[in-house]
Amino acid sequence: MKVFISADMEGTAGVTDWDQVMPDRHDYQRFRRLMTEEVNAAILGALEAGAKEIVVNDSHNTMRNILIEELHPQAQLVSGSPKPHSMMQGIDASFDVVFFTGYHGAAGTQNAILDHTYSSATVRQLKLGNLVVGEAGLNAALAGYFKVPVALVTGDSTAVAQAKKLLPHVEGVAVKEPIGRVAARSYQPVEARRRIKEGASRALKRARDLKPLTLPRPVALEIEWMHTAMADRCMLIPGVTRVGPRAIGYRARDVEQAFTLAMACLVLARSTL
Ligand SMILES: [Zn+2]
């Protein structure tokens, strides 16, 4: 079994604030270690259940958070940014399953720690067809394009519940209970890791019964931005249409094209800040 892990940071046990997850902030060094250890817990669980090869993609912010010297030696690490497939860089049809660790709720989700979709400063809502998706949804759809199912999601309880709505058979491990956007009741890291390791083992054992998230083609992508200037900027891309004062649309031939178009729009939207 070959496992791809997309590792985000906001859904790590104990994280409630940007001060803990942004590289220039005072608590970051502590929490990047805790993030690394949660990824290790998922790796250990996967290895126990028979995984032979594990690739971890660092998926948070600069994508240079995981401490490689503390990562389990049987895993390989993809790090740095930008990367064409961003939080999913490295995914292809050779993998059996995907794990999402440290994930958070989509932009606009109530009671979800640091809810956002790829960029808290720019994205208000992202849709694939009729589905409003957060990072878990968009990334699961890209995995589905490669016919790989998502087997495990870890993060706060709201993020896990949100992922399960779209991926009903995914194994979910909630490491904390949000109290609004920037407060939570959390498991202590050692206990959180115990739960993640067990969840990863269970997830891998059930992997053969899981179905990838596949969307019909073509795929209608729609992004509503925080400001009109962001939508203005995206109109530079041929084929992009204006579907609202703050919203753009694109008819993509498949999920992979919708994904890369969304990444290009994010760069343009951020250029207005
Ligand atoms: Zn993140």
DSSP string, 186-227: E--HHHHHHHHHHHHHHHHHTGGG------PSSEEEEEEESS
- Cα three-residue angle 42-47-53, rounded to 5 degrees: 100
Residues 88/224, Cβ–Cβ less than 8 Å: no
Residues with beta carbon < 5 A to ion ligand 1? 8-10, 60
Name the fold adopted by 2-115+135-209: Rossmann fold (3.40.50)
Cα gap 152→144, rounded to integer Å: 14
Per-residue pLDDT of the chain (273 residues; tens, 9 = 90+): 999 999 999 999 999 999 999 999 999 999 999 999 999 999 999 999 999 999 999 999 999 999 999 999 999 999 999 999 999 999 999 999 999 999 999 999 999 999 999 999 999 999 999 999 999 999 999 999 999 999 999 999 999 999 999 999 999 999 999 999 999 999 999 999 999 999 999 999 999 899 999 999 999 999 999 999 999 999 999 999 999 999 999 999 999 999 999 999 999 999 999
Ranges of each domain in the chain: 2-115+135-209, 219-270
Query: Ligand 1 mean position to 109 CA, how many Å?
Result: 15
CATH architecture of 219-270: 2-Layer Sandwich (3.30)
pTM of the predicted model over 0.85: yes
Tokens of 76: 């390989």
As a whole number of Å, the CA-based R_g of the chain is: 17
Ligand 1 centre to CA of 203 (Å) is 23
Question: Rounded to the nearest whole angstrom, what is the distance from the C-alpha of residue 17 to the centroid of ligand 1?
Answer: 12
**Residues 262, 254 contacting (CB under 8 angstroms):** no
